[in-house]
Amino acid sequence: MEDIEVQVLQSDERQGWRPPSSNSFKVNVDGAVFSNQKATGVGVTIRDDRVRLEAAMSKKLHAPLGALKAEAKAFKAGIIFARDVGVQDIIIEGDSMIIFRALCELSPPPQSVASIIEGILDIVREFRSVQFSHTRRQGNIPAHILAKHASSIANFTVWIEQNPCFIEQALIHDVISLPSHE
């Protein structure tokens, strides 16, 4: 990945969501498994350094995937969505340590997601800068809610520069939970 700045952010052991640095965007992703529907949900939020939600997506994948594959597919969907929205400097963050470590090439990906990880690493070359970040579930609540919301939709729903009402409280909680010095 010599053509692009790729950085590894340490796993964020703090509890809540943190905004990206100035002039960049944070892409939070999460996956959910709907065993009874034989489907998978993906949730993505894209927020700027002023914590504004620029775009969000809830997407249903009509495939009975396991939890790890759902998380890998969420990272891939998040990267593609960020590219389609037109942001060039991103931090992509999720709550799967296994996927985070594989993307950072800190450990080999499990065989079941190796091709997805390879595809993600190919796509990130299209960005000006990419950082990978891991957070705990508490730092990923809006993306988690969007992933769960996919169970009630046919294919996908996208919001551009508007907040889906059902994640409004989670977005507000992220902002009021920020330390006062940020």
DSSP strand E in the chain: where? 5-8, 25-34, 39-48, 53-61, 89-94, 129-134, 156-160
Domain assignment present for residue 181? The answer is no
Domain assignment present for residue 182? The answer is no
* Helix ranges, 15-66 (H): none
pTM over 0.85: yes
More confident residue, 75 or 2: 75
Domain assignment present for residue 73? The answer is yes
- Domain region containing 32: 5-169
Domain assignment present for residue 176? The answer is no
Tell me how far apart the terminal alpha carbons of the chain are, to the nearest angstrom: 31
> What value, to the nearest 5°, has the Cα angle with vertex 154 and ends 85 and 77?
35
Q: Mapping DSSP to helix (H, G, I), strand (E, B) and coil, where does residue 34 land? A: strand
Domain assignment present for residue 177? The answer is no
Domain assignment present for residue 180? The answer is no
Cα 169 to Cα 150: distance, rounded to the nearest angstrom: 18
Domain assignment present for residue 179? The answer is no
- At 19-68, the pLDDT tens digits run 999 999 999 999 999 999 999 999 999 999 999 999 999 999 999 999 99
Write the CATH number for 37: 3.30.420.10
pLDDT of 167 over the 60 cut: yes
Q: Which residues pair with 146 in a beta bridge?
A: none
| φ, ψ at 51 (rounded to 5°) | 65, 10
- At 144-165, the pLDDT tens digits run 999 999 999 999 999 999 999 9
What's the domain count of the chain?
A: 1
Domain assignment present for residue 178? The answer is no
Confidence at residue 6, expressed as pLDDT on a 0 to 100 scale: 53
pLDDT of 108 over the 80 cut: yes
pLDDT of 178 over the 90 cut: no
pLDDT of 11 over the 50 cut: no
